[in-house]
Amino acid sequence: MILIPGPASSELGSRIALALGVEPHPVEHRIFPDGESYIRLTTPVEGETVVIVQTTAPKQDQRLMQLFMMAGTAKGLGAERVVCVVPYLAYSRQDKRFLEGEALSLDMVLGLLDSIGADDLIVVDAHSTESLEKIETEHEINVHNLSAIPLLAKELKKIGFEGAYSLSPDKGAIHLADAAAEILGGGSGFFEKFRDRTTGEIEMKVEDLNIAGEKAVVFDDIISSGGTMARAVDGLKVLGAEMVAAACTHALLMKGAKEKIEKAGADLIISSDTIQDCEDLVTVSIAPMIADALKSLK
């Protein structure tokens, strides 16, 4: 197996290589003055299973293009199997036409990877498992969707959140809270989120939960602007929760998001390491889980 950490996941790629006991083979890369990417593989790949690790957090388009270049080059140079580990899969939230005429971007990303020659795609907490599975059937590529939520819950249990209530800030993400509740105990539930499809504005209906004086954790797949998480944390605090943690798999944390969530009253923000450069948070590594998934690929 040849493991290639891409430019967006040099650290995670090295952690996965370490967990697998293989040498990482980082690519040579640079960005030209006009913004285009240069990519060169630094090791022969002919006849090999090549694993490319590249998350696609901002700058998404650049990261995706680099991923396409690495996967396509590996296949073009004779790799037998190309496995793309893309912990955060950009464009996953546009998995349906919510308004007429919208682009189905998730379908396009999968279609491009497929046509470039990627054989497998490993993602973590895909935004909608259902949509991903449906779109997968229209392409040859095999998609493996793993979850970091049990890892986050185990870490939270260790650091004082055993017995905490697990909340998802949206009905569609209740499976995240349910999975966490199996580890934390303390039950699970959701608030309802409504998004204005034109303005992007959200509203949240806070259920009347009996959690005064208790601990609670909000679990979401992504924190981007922080608006969703801040509203859920605030709702729990208003209900009297004593300690509230904000947990997510993908800490995109755009400018001001962390401050917004802290201002809402979060005592802790925790994420996985699907996205590089969020080292000032409590972070749990997905590397051993990815290594296990790679070992068990048929």
Tell me the catalytic residues: 193
User: Is 220 a binder of ligand R5P (CB under 6 A)?
Assistant: yes
- For ligand R5P, the closer of residues 27 and 253 by Cβ is 253
Task: Tell how strand 49-53 and strand 37-40 pair up.
Answer: unpaired
Structure tokens at 25: 């083979």
User: Is 225 a binder of ligand R5P (CB under 6 A)?
Assistant: yes
User: Is 51 a binder of ligand R5P (CB under 6 A)?
Assistant: no
Report the distance separating Cα 57 and Cα 59, nearest Å. Answer: 6
Give the residue, chosen from 184, 222, 251, 294, that forms a contact with ligand R5P under the rule CB under 6 A: 222
* Coil, strand or helix at 119: coil
Q: How far is the CB of 127 from ligand R5P (least distance, A)?
A: 6
User: Is 221 a binder of ligand R5P (CB under 6 A)?
Assistant: yes
DSSP string, 61-101: HHHHHHHHHHHHHHHHTT-SEEEEE-SS-TTTT--S-SSTT
Nearest CA among 219, 189, 224 for reference residue 205: 189
- For ligand R5P, the closer of residues 226 and 235 by Cβ is 226
Give the residue, chosen from 227, 243, 246, 274, that forms a contact with ligand R5P under the rule CB under 6 A: 227
Which residues 237-276 are close enough to bind ligand R5P by CB under 6 A?
A: none
Contact status, residue 13 vs residue 26, Cβ threshold 8 Å: yes
- For ligand R5P, the closer of residues 49 and 147 by Cβ is 147
**CB-based burial label for 158 (10 Å; 0-12, 13-18, 19+):** exposed
User: Is 62 a binder of ligand R5P (CB under 6 A)?
Assistant: no
Q: How far is the CB of 278 from ligand R5P (least distance, A)?
A: 14
Which residues 167-196 are close enough to bind ligand R5P by CB under 6 A?
A: 169-170, 173
Contact status, residue 52 vs residue 74, Cβ threshold 8 Å: yes
Give the residue, chosen from 60, 92, 94, 228, that forms a contact with ligand R5P under the rule CB under 6 A: 228
- Backbone phi, then psi, for 78, in 5-degree steps? 95, 15
Q: Applying CB under 6 A, what is the total number of residues that bind ligand R5P?
A: 14
Interface positions with ligand R5P (CB under 6 A): 93, 169-170, 173, 220-229
